[in-house]
Copies of this chain bind each other. A is one copy, B any other.
């Protein structure tokens, strides 16, 4: 096939797969080279370092997530509709790009200081996007949340988990999971919260 010469994207895809399978530290440049048909040292013709490979994977992942969230926010609609779209986009990404999401969440500590702060900043921006949408709904009295921060974390973390167990050939389709999780998010945001601690689980029976 024409254009079969290696480019940085091909190498990055191979590295992503290996990082997801065995972890960043357990993956060697020799492994990545073998995955694209060359020797380890030859990789330095296409990428500057192993660390750089991880950085570009993680930054790209956050860019895609943020772009999807922005599109959801820009589409308009009431707060419930906006949150629904954000959650669906979030879940869809984690189901369709499991490896990216998985590596993005597990290898943060393997990012060297300057790069780590950069990625953490992007993550914070992403979380703040959902948080703002929730706060808007609360201010408009359509959501009843005690803490927009807690609600955003709960919804985001629930979707992040999808990357760990979702299988394309499993019992649930991407759509099913996306719709169900959006329902869950809306249920969390609109439910009446129990007023006291009387009926809490921990001590009610005592």
Contact = CB atoms under 8 A, between A and B. Distances in A.
A157 B161 contact: yes
A4 interface: no
A23 B201 contact: no
Interface in A136-180: 146-147, 149-151, 153-158, 160-162, 164-165, 171-172, 176-180
A109 to B, nearest CB: 6
Contacts of A202: 85, 88, 178
Contacts of A178: 202
A45 interface: no
Contacts of A205: 75-77, 81
A201 to B, nearest CB: 3
Contact of A179 (B85, B154, B157, B197): B197
A72 interface: yes
Contacts of A187: 187-188, 190-191
Interface residues on A, range: 35 or more
Interface string A73-112: 0011100011111111000000000000000001001100
A204 interface: yes
A117 interface: no
Contacts of A204: 77, 81
Interface of A: 21-23, 25-26, 72, 75-77, 81-88, 106, 109-110, 146-147, 149-151, 153-158, 160-162, 164-165, 171-172, 176-184, 186-188, 190-191, 193-194, 197, 200-202, 204-205
12 contacts: A26-B109, A26-B110, A72-B201, A77-B205, A84-B201, A86-B201, A147-B180, A155-B158, A158-B161, A160-B161, A179-B200, A183-B188
